[in-house]
Amino acid sequence: MPGIVVVGLQWGDEGKGKVSAYLARGASLAVRFNGGANAGHTVTLPDRTLSLHMLPAAAISTKSAAIGHGVYLDIEEMLRDIAKLEEAVGKVGVVVSPRAHLVTPLQVGLDAKIEEMRGGGSIGTTRRGIGPTALHKYGRLGLRLCDVLDGADVGDLVKVWMRLWGGVIPFNPEEVLAKVRGLAEQVRGMVGDVSSLIRTHLASGGTVIFEGAQGTMLDIDHGTYPYVTSSHTTSAAAAIGSGVGLKSINIVVGVAKAYTTRVGAGPFPTEISGPVADVIRERGSEYGATTGRPRRIGWLDMPQLRYACMLNDTDQIFLTRVDTLSGLERVKLCVKYEGVGEPYPETVEALRSVKPVYLEMEGWPRIDEAERERLRLEGYGALHRAARRYLEKVEEELGTAVKYIGIGPGIMDVIVK
C-alpha cells in the first residue's frame, strides 16, 4: 500500500509527467499537491502528446485524480485539462479540495505588473498568478474554493483587495467575483475531502502517486531565492499539500534529466551556451510547456543534485533524457564547485560566482527509434558502455541508486536497472 512521491530534483521540467504516468501503472489514485497552472506536465501517448497544467499526468494511468489544497487552483485550466484528458483516455474521476486557494484575474494581472515593476530584476515567472495567489494566501487575504461555494460573505475581502490594488492594476471586483462564482459552480460536483480519499485508497491496498510540480531548486525556501516559485516543491510538501502525514509516504522518486535546464531568470552554475547547448535544446525540444520560452541548458551538476537528494530523502533516481544527450563526442559532469563544500551556497551572489569543476567523459552513440526498441527489449546491459559509465558515476557521486533510465518520450521508453 505504498504512497509514492515523484519530485523534480532540478529546476523543473525533468520529465515528471512521463515518470508519474509510468510509475502509476497499477496505481489507483494520482494526486497534485503543489504549484498551479505554472506547471506543464507533458506525456507522449501513442496517438498524441498531452500537456497538462493542473491535473496530475499520472491520471492517464489511474483515471482517478485528486487536487490537494496545496495547489493554487486555476479552475479554467483545470476544466481544459479534464476535457483534454478525457478525450485521450476516457472518463476520469476528479476530486478537488475545498480548501484550495483560487487564482483569479486579479492575481494574474498582479503577476505581470510586479514583473514589470522589477524591471531588469524580474523573476521570469510563467505569469499564471502564482506569486500573488501565495501573497494573498499567506497574508490571510486569500479566496478559497469553499468560501465561494458556501456563499460566505467575501465582500469585505474584496474591498480590501480593492484598497490594496485598485490603483495598481485595472480591477473590477464585481466582474472578478461573478467570474469566480460561475467557475466554482462548474466544479461543485468535484469538491471532496482529498485527505480521506488518499487514506481510503492506501488502507485498501492501493498505490497513490503524489506528483510534484516544478523542481527542488525552485522551492520557496530551499531554492535559489528569489528566483523560485511560490510553493514548496520537495517531498515533504506532498504531505502538507494533500493533507496526509509523513507516514503515508513510503517511497521518494527523484527525477533529474541527464543534463540540466532552467527556464526563467536566476543563477545556474553549469549553464552553457554555443553549439552543444543548441544541439541539446533542438534535439530535446527544450522549450517551456507553459510559456514556449527556450530553456537554458547546462551540464549535470553533482553539488546541486547532492543537495536535492538530501532535501527530499530521495530513495531512487529516475534519470530522464539519456537519449537526448546521446550522439555527443564528449559529455561533462560537474563534480564540485571550486573551493566550495557543504552547505550548498545560499545566496544568488554566491551561486553566480561558483566555478564548476568538470569531469569530461566519453559520449555514447545516438539513441534513435531502432536503438530504443532494442534497449527496451534487452535492458540495461545493452546500453553503450560509455552511457553506463556516466550513469554509474552519477550514482557514485550522489550515493543514491539510479533505478530508472529514460531513453525516449513515450511512457514505456524506460530501462529499469
Q: Which residues contact ligand IMP (rule: CB under 6 A)?
A: 11-13, 38-40, 123-126, 128, 130-131, 213-214, 218, 227, 229-230, 263-264
Residue 292 or 381 having the CB closest to ligand IMP: 292
Residue placing its CB nearer to ligand IMP in the complex, 28 or 260: 260
Q: What is the DSSP letter of 344?
A: P
The minimum distance between CB 229 and ligand IMP, in angstroms, equals 3
For residue 324, give the nearest of 94, 14, 58, 11 by alpha carbon.
14
DSSP β-bridge partners for residue 408: none
- 316 beta partners: 253, 401
Residue 390: all three cell numbers together = 556516466
Give the active site residue among 41, 69, 222, 232.
41
Catalytic residue status for 301: no
Run of H or E including 202: helix 194-203
Nearer of residues 129 and 363 to ligand IMP, judged by Cβ: 129
Q: Smallest gap, in angstroms, from Cβ of residue 384 to ligand IMP?
A: 30
Residue 416 and residue 403 in contact, taking contact as beta carbons nearer than 8 Å: yes
Compute the least distance from the CB of residue 210 to ligand IMP, in Å. 16
What letter represents residue 231's amino acid? S
Under 8 Å between Cβ of 64 and 93:
yes
Are 26 and 58 within 8 A, CB to CB?
no
The answer to whether residues 274 and 285 touch, using CB atoms and an 8 Å cutoff, is no
Q: Which residues pair with 211 in a beta bridge?
A: 6, 32
- Number of helices (H), then strands (E), belonging to the chain: the values are 15, 19
Asked if 13 is an active-site residue, the reply is yes
Is cis: bond before 343, omega within 30 of 0? yes
Residue nearest to ligand IMP as judged by C-beta position: 264
| Residue 99 or 128 with smaller CB distance to ligand IMP | 128
Q: Shortest approach of ligand IMP to residue 366 CB, angstroms?
A: 27
CB 123 within 8 A of CB 149: no
Taking the least distance from each CB to ligand IMP, the nearer of 206 and 223 is 223
Nearest approach in angstroms of CB 376 to ligand IMP is 28
Nearer to ligand IMP, 12 or 142 (CB): 12
CB of 185 to ligand IMP, least distance (A): 27
Q: Residue 56: is the preceding peptide bond cis (ω within 30°)?
A: no
**Are 148 and 187 in contact, with CB atoms under 8 Å apart?**
no
Q: Which residue numbers are catalytic?
A: 13, 41
